[in-house]
Amino acid sequence: MKQNELLLEENKKLKDELLRTKEQLKTYTDNAKRYYEKNKEEIIQKVKEYQQAPNYVRLNTSKEVIKERNKKAYLKRKEKLKESENQNI
């Protein structure tokens, strides 16, 4: 009997904690939604500007362009590694 009461009490505490957590989460998500609703046009404009940047990788970018960029990055990393090795010697 006593164990049953303890379980019921614990269950009630957990339900209360869950409700408080949901309310806190709701305040954070509501703020984010309001921000994006207010600044929707600005955000869309920033995304368009970012997509116009030369280093933006689109999904439909050709494989040759991606290979070229990767090769340049690899060579640059290799060059930096050699420079750091030369400085250590």
pLDDT at residue 59, rounded to an integer: 66
End-to-end CA distance of the chain: 77
Write out the two tokens for 58. Answer: 């689109």
Write out the two tokens for 23. Answer: 């309310």
pLDDT at residue 74, rounded to an integer: 96
Low-confidence residues in the chain, pLDDT < 50: none
pLDDT at residue 56, rounded to an integer: 74
